[in-house]
Amino acid sequence: MPKMKTKSSAKKRLKVLGNGGVKRSFAFKRHILTKKTTKTKRQLRGTTMVRACDMASVAKMLPYA
């Protein structure tokens, strides 16, 4: 059987941690930043974890992680 392919977009955006969780960055921080408040942009810094309800789709995108 052929190997399953990892989604390149998920590979670039997600990082699987040792405890089984998946780390992601926040959306809405790439462009059109002038109309967003400083507070909003500050709160979008850093990373957060993927929620449990989305883990099934993440597992399909990253089959070997």
Which pLDDT score, from 0 to 100, does residue 10 have? 97
Low-confidence ranges of the chain (pLDDT < 50): none
Nearest residue to 18 (alpha-carbon basis) of 65, 61, 63: 65
Q: Encode burial over 28-60: b for 16+ CB neighbours within 10 A, e otherwise.
A: eeeeeeeeeeeeeeeebeeeeebeeeeeeebee
pTM score, whole prediction: 0.85
- Domain boundaries of the chain, sorted by first residue: 8-61
Spell out the residues 6+ positions from residue 61 whose beta carbon is closer than 8 angstroms to its own. Answer: 6, 7, 9, 10, 14
Question: So what CATH class is 8-61?
Answer: few secondary structures
pLDDT tens digits, residue range 4-14?
A: 999 999 999 99
